[in-house]
Structure 1
């Protein structure tokens, strides 16, 4: 018959002869675990680093995809850079104006009343007015600007250093007037001053009468056939005709071509012929008075 052992109460004593559990020196298991995690993390970082330039795949969102190369335009479809494009060709010069030209006007004139500076650095001062015939369909300010540019030069009559010119209003004191007139009016004004400007029965050229420089509207708008054929811009013909007729007002007479291929003197009748010379609108060329043999 067995007898049950009664439960122990109170503190349990350890027999003195039982050896105590030795203490654990250091933390080796923890170090091993940390080293393992570091090694594992380095592998993960290495796995997500961007591959080198010669890698065959890229890692993106956990999926391997082939690298996408930037498209290279073919030589036939590539657009040239703006700097490589040639500049646009210049507009061709205006040789003559189109449209009808009034052959007659009212015979009365409007004046350019704007103030203008003195042209030239020294010498006698000659004042002039600028006028455009009513009914000519021309603007008096535009004609005034063209006269001013022709007489300002460089190359104009004021380059002598002995002459100054100034445009003045129509009511001011003046020495001469530059008129733009229709062919019919110009013909009458020139004939009254002693010059017949008709060619083939029609008033053709411009002229100078005492105190009057008279520019024929036909020539102002149309130039002349041989100069149009030579490609002379209308703007240069206008410079010539103003300087030529003002030259008469200043006391200069007609001259001839000095030689084939040379510039025509401004006092040559370039409206009628060049005689082998090259059209030239200026009385001074290269800073010197340019002349030809007298007629």
Structure 2
């Protein structure tokens, strides 16, 4: 009997590994192993940054959309409060700001635009001999900046001796004694040839305020200094450039920039 057991043991030793290979999974002995065995191995997750979104620059506003009132009520609303004094020395000139009732324009917004234009050191206070301050209605003042519809502007300008019609229609802005009159059509629409040249409306607005205020301060029209040069602010840039480039400022690089008188 002992001999028989020994023979069986030898046989099992000889056939052991191949036999285990032939066993089914259910028949094999259970052994400990990595917990990942029998489950799908997920690749490591790595953080990736999203591609940067490049936004195209917003094109400048060339003119306001929508219809512009041709006529208003021929009455005005005045900006309230007082602005700060701009300029470092010289005579103090006080001005009011008003928008026509029925124009659809907010007097506070227009007043801010006027103060921005006249308060810039490249504007008329750049001489070092002038200071400016916006004051409310009822205060002592030297002149008023009006934003008026085309028909009202034509009447106001004509009363002061200036005809702003081009082709029979009220077109330009003007100055009459004590009144700087900005034509609402120009304020909202600029002019066709400057729109075609992609001039921002904001730049044209700076020009028209400084040009008409320049008349109030005693300056006449001036001519272009040469092709490719900045136009003097007192050139009639609403009508033509004559080879010059648009310039809304009377002072450039700290010096008065002017052309030959017309």
Tell me the TM-score normalized by structure 2. Answer: 0.84
Aligned to 2:12: none
**Counterpart selection for 2:56 from 66, 89, 110:** 89
1:60 is paired with a residue whose SS is: coil
Give SS of 2:213's match. Answer: helix
Q: Name the count of aligned residue pairs.
A: 231
Structure with the bigger RCO (C-alpha within 8 Å, sep 6+) is 2
CA contact (8 A) 2:87 2:121 kept: no
Unaligned runs of 5+ in 1: 1-57, 74-78
One of 189, 194, 197 as aligned partner of 1:230: 197
2:210 aligns to what SS in structure 1?
helix
CA displacement, residues 150-193 of structure 1 (integer Å, 9 cap, x when unaligned): 00113110111110000000110000000000000000110110
Residue in structure 1 matching 2:245, options 278, 283, 289: 278
TM alignment of 1:124-163, pairs within 5 A: 124-163=91-130
Q: 2:212 aligns with which of 245, 251, 273?
A: 245
3-state SS in 2 of match to 1:141: helix
Q: Distance in 1 between matches of 2:37 and 2:59?
A: 65
TM-superposition CA deviations, 1:208-260 (whole Å, max 9, x none): 00000000000000000011011110011000000000000000010011011
Match of 2:226 among 228, 238, 259: 259
Structure 1 residues 129 and 287, CA gap change in structure 2 (3 angstroms) = same
- Matched residue, 1:166: 133
Listed as ranges, the gaps of 5+ residues in structure 2 are 1-31
Between the aligned partners of 1:67 and 1:108, the Cα distance in structure 2 is: 81
Q: After superposition, where does 1:10-21 map in structure 2 within 5 Å?
A: none
2:184 corresponding residue in structure 1: 217
Q: CA RMSD in A?
A: 1.9
Q: How far, CA to CA, are the matches of 2:160 and 2:129 in structure 1?
A: 28
Gap change, CA 1:174 and 1:71, over 3 Å in 2 = closer
Q: CA deviation at 1:60?
A: 2.6
In 2, Cα distance between equivalents of 1:217 and 1:191? 16
Secondary structure in 2 aligned to 1:166?
Answer: strand
1:60 equivalenced with 2:34 (yes/no): yes
Q: What's the counterpart of residue 16 of structure 1?
A: none
Q: Are the equivalent residues in 2 in contact too, given 1:187–1:197 (CA < 8 A)?
A: yes
Counterparts of 1:222 and 1:92 in 2: how far apart (Å)?
A: 16
Structure 1 segments (4+ residues) deviating >3 Å: 61-69
1:100 Cα deviation after fit: 1.0
**Conserved 8 A contact 1:59-1:65:** no
Instruction: Give secondary structure in 1 for the equivalent of 2:241.
Output: coil
Query: Could you tell me how far apart the structure 1 residues matched to 2:76 and 2:210 are?
Result: 21
Tell me, in whole angstroms, the C-alpha distance in 2 between the residues paired with 1:85 and 1:62. 38
Q: What TM-score, normalized to structure 1?
A: 0.74
Residues in 1 aligned to 2:197 and 2:241: alpha-carbon distance in whole angstroms: 11
Q: Distance in 2 between matches of 1:118 and 1:173?
A: 14
Contact 2:83 2:135 in 1 (8 A): yes
